[in-house]
């Protein structure tokens, strides 16, 4: 992995991933692309406007920059996808198959994230195994299971070096989350700093897996650098750091802001999605096959989130 094309690079993960990859592999070796463009983005390193539903443009950009790796992040997330399922299908599956085709044609290493959304109501909820029932009931989940299978297919059928993880909800202070079910776990920190209170759209007692962004980014680099011979579960490694409900975030915040309070106004659409996902997933296959380990628990993450957001909103 020396020259990397990143799709959806201006989103929650991409904004931080591109910086990390440029620190490791050099600025000119990381080509950020997105359907949108933000001011100043071109000054930080190579950037191209790219809609992933346009296969020819994706091929041309990959060829022009002579990349050896694609990290495909462009997608519509769970809550947004549920509002416009057909558009989500077109972007999530159309974009993925286009990116896989570019990887096949140009012989590129390939990474794309799956999600805990790839599980469904019939999946065992606690310590969810690596290999288990996957019958998701959301369009996002359908896309993610199909994506895991499609990536496996490109590996077995064409030998494309595809790799991926099932991310839990990701928490960061850098870029805003993009319309997922776990976005509350970012909002709660901003509201704690601004108003010392938060009204959660996810109900009390609803456990979901979460992870702090630095652990999520390390996982990508580690998995992509891992010895291919050791990877059995190439495209769908369960990884997690924290299993938490809204009240757990409130308690962790109260250690720093004792007057912080939480109330609940449950959004039925996002609650239904959350109820269909696991409470906690088992990451042992990732640990065994490529050494995955998360550094941040909820307390370490909370301390840093509150410090960084306080500086940001000053
Ligand atoms: N953030 C999380 O909590 C989380 C959890 C599990 C999995 N994931 C997965 O990680 C990947 C990235 O997620 P994220 O949180 O950065 O998402 P995001 O919504 O923050 O960013 C997605 C980016 O894709 C871009 N995009 C949308 N449509 C596009 C198109 N047609 N062509 C090119 N770019 C397009 C958007 O402009 C945006 O910058 C997705 O596959 C997502 O499913 C994220």
Q: Per-residue confidence of the chain (314 residues) as pLDDT tens digits? A: 689 999 999 999 999 999 999 999 999 999 999 999 998 888 899 999 999 999 999 999 999 999 999 999 999 999 899 999 999 999 999 999 999 999 999 999 999 999 999 999 999 999 999 999 999 999 999 999 999 999 999 999 999 999 999 999 999 999 888 888 999 999 999 999 999 999 999 999 999 999 999 999 999 999 999 999 999 999 999 999 999 999 999 999 999 999 999 999 999 999 999 999 999 999 999 999 999 999 999 999 999 999 999 999 88
Q: Which residue out of 47, 73, 220 has the highest number of ligand 1 atoms within 8 Å of its CB and is therefore the one to mutate? A: 73
Candidates 5, 11, 19: which one to mutate for ligand 1, based on the most atoms within 8 Å of Cβ? 11
Residues 118 and 277: beta-carbon distance below 8 Å:
no
- Kindly report the CATH number that applies to the domain delimited by 4-168+212-238: 3.40.50.720
What residue owns the CA closest to ligand 1's atom 7?
Answer: 115
10 close to 41: Cβ distance less than 8 angstroms? yes
Which of 154, 82, 83 lies closest to 117, judged by CA? 82
CATH 3.40.50.720 domain position(s) in the chain? 4-168+212-238
| Burial (CB count <10 Å: 0-12, 13-18, 19+), residue 218 | middle
The boundaries of every CATH 3.90.25.10 domain in the chain are 170-209+241-279+295-313
Strand, coil or helix: what is 20? helix
67 CA distance to ligand 1 middle (Å): 21
Q: Is the CB of 278 under 6 A from ligand 1?
A: no
Name the CA radius of gyration of the chain, rounded.
Answer: 19
Query: Which residue carries 């307390």 as its tokens?
Result: 299
The pLDDT of residue 1 is 61
Which residue has the CA at smallest separation from atom 9 of ligand 1? 113
Q: Is 208 in the pocket of ligand 1 (CB under 6 A)?
A: no
Q: Which residues are catalytic?
A: 140
Question: What spacing in Å lies between the alpha carbon of 257 and ligand 1's midpoint?
Answer: 32
Separation CA 303–CA 276 (nearest Å): 30
Is the CB of residue 294 less than 8 Å from the CB of residue 222? no
- CB of 178 closer than 6 A to ligand 1? yes
What is the distance in A from the centroid of ligand 1 to the CA of 262? 28
| Distance of CA 111 from the midpoint of ligand 1 (Å) | 13
8 lines ligand 1 (CB under 6 A): yes
Classify domain 170-209+241-279+295-313 by CATH number: 3.90.25.10
Written in H, E and C, the secondary structure of 228-295 is HHHCCCCCCEECCCEEECHHHHHHHHHCCCCCCEEEECCCHHHHHHHHCCCCCECCHHHHHHHCCCCC
Atom of ligand 1 nearest to the CA of 175: 20
């Amino acid at each position: 992995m020396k020259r990397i094309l990143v799709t959806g690079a201006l989103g929650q993960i991409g904004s931080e991933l591109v910086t990390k990859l440029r620190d490791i592999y050099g600025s000119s070796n990381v080509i950020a692309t997105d359907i949108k463009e933000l001011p100043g983005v071109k000054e930080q390193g190579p950037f191209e406007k790219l809609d992933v539903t346009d296969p020819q443009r994706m091929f041309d950009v990959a060829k022009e920059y002579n990349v050896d790796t694609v990290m495909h992040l462009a997608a519509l997330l769970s809550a947004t996808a549920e509002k416009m399922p057909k558009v989500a299908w077109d972007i999530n599956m159309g974009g993925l198959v286009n990116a896989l085709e570019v990887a096949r044609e140009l012989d590129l290493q390939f990474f794309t994230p799956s999600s805990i959304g790839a599980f469904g109501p019939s999946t065992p909820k606690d310590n969810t195994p690596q290999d288990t029932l996957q019958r998701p009931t959301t369009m996002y989940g359908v896309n993610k299971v199909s994506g895991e299978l499609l990536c496996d297919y490109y590996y077995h059928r064409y030998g494309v070096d595809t790799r991926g993880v099932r991310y839990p909800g990701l928490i960061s202070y850098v870029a805003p989350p993009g319309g997922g079910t776990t976005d509350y776990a970012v909002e709660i920190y901003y509201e704690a700093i601004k108003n010392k209170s938060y009204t959660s759209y996810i109900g009390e007692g609803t456990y979901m897996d979460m992870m702090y962004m630095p652990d999520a980014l390390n996982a990508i680099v580690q998995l992509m650098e891992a010895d291919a011979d050791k990877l059995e579960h190439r495209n769908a490694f369960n990884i997690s750091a924290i299993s938490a409900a809204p009240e757990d975030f409130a308690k962790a915040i109260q250690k720093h802001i004792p007057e912080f309070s939480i109330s609940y106004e449950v959004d039925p659409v996002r609650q239904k999605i959350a109820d269909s996902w696991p409470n906690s997933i088992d990451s042992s296959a990732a640990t065994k096959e490529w050494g995955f380990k998360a550094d941040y628990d909820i307390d370490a993450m909370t301390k840093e989130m509150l410090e960084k957001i306080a500086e940001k909103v000053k």
